[in-house]
Amino acid sequence: MITVAVVDDDRMLLDGLRAWLDKVTGIRLAEAACTVDGLFAAAAAQAGTAAAEAGTAPADSSVGRRVLPYDVVLLDLLLGDGSRPERNIGRLLSAGTRVLIISNAPDRRRIVDAVAAGADGYLTKDHDLPDLVSAVREVAAGGTAHSAELAFSWVHDDGPARPNLSPKERQVLLEYASGLTLKATARRTGVSPHTAKYYLDRVKEKYQQAGRPTYTKIDLAARVREDGWAAGT
């Protein structure tokens, strides 16, 4: 059973999600709140009630340490309390849940920043139930929920934190970050190992200049995911 919570201040959307997800086997909508603060408060109240019924001491309710009992949180980027999306995402991730953005934010920069902050995907609110269910299951399984809107935002992102890689630099990055050795990457991309290393060094230099140091293969794989290179190729 995948346990889901929703943070959105659109009451009609919340009611619609409840009705939708009630029909889906294997996914349970456990909580809905208008703000991230509200979600933490609801989780704390639920934990306190459960502890009282069990006759045990309540769990630590500190926001910084308490783990939210949800597999995936569906989060709107633009909430009425004016909270910053990146901070909301960081708080939810620190509490042990994964985050899927469900929003109609018109600013592509906001979408890219949300994924860079750790969100595991983005859908607009006009997607149908099968798309939402597929995205929730993908995120709950540890993947990233891609969408046409997210790919478009990645491809057209020209922010200073996303380096401008040449086609060959991007190709070498993708092959090497996928787990191939340098020699295998060179064969796959049709260059010598020396040239492949040159391209990788260029990629690392560009990320360094963008303020995002990248030292290891794990770092490179993280940059591929954060910047959507695979989805936006």
pLDDT digits (tens, 9 = 90+) for 67-118: 799 999 999 998 989 999 999 999 999 999 999 999 887 667 777 778 778 8
Query: Identity (one letter) of the amino acid at 202?
Result: R
Name the DSSP class of 121: B
Q: Which residues contact 56 (CB under 8 A, 6 or more apart)?
A: none
Please report the domains of the chain, with CATH numbers, ordered by start residue: 2-155 (3.40.50.2300), 167-232 (1.10.10.10)
Q: For 135, what's the count of Cα atoms within 13 Å in the CB-facing half-sphere?
A: 27
Put simply, whether the predicted model's pTM sits higher than 0.85 gets the answer: no
Q: According to the model, what pLDDT value does residue 54 have?
A: 62
Which is it for strands 72-75 and 98-102: parallel, antiparallel or unpaired? parallel
- DSSP category for residue 68: P
- 197 close to 141: Cβ distance less than 8 angstroms: no
Q: Which residue has the tokens 């909508």?
A: 29
Q: What is the pLDDT of residue 126?
A: 84
- The reported pLDDT for the residue numbered 63 is 42
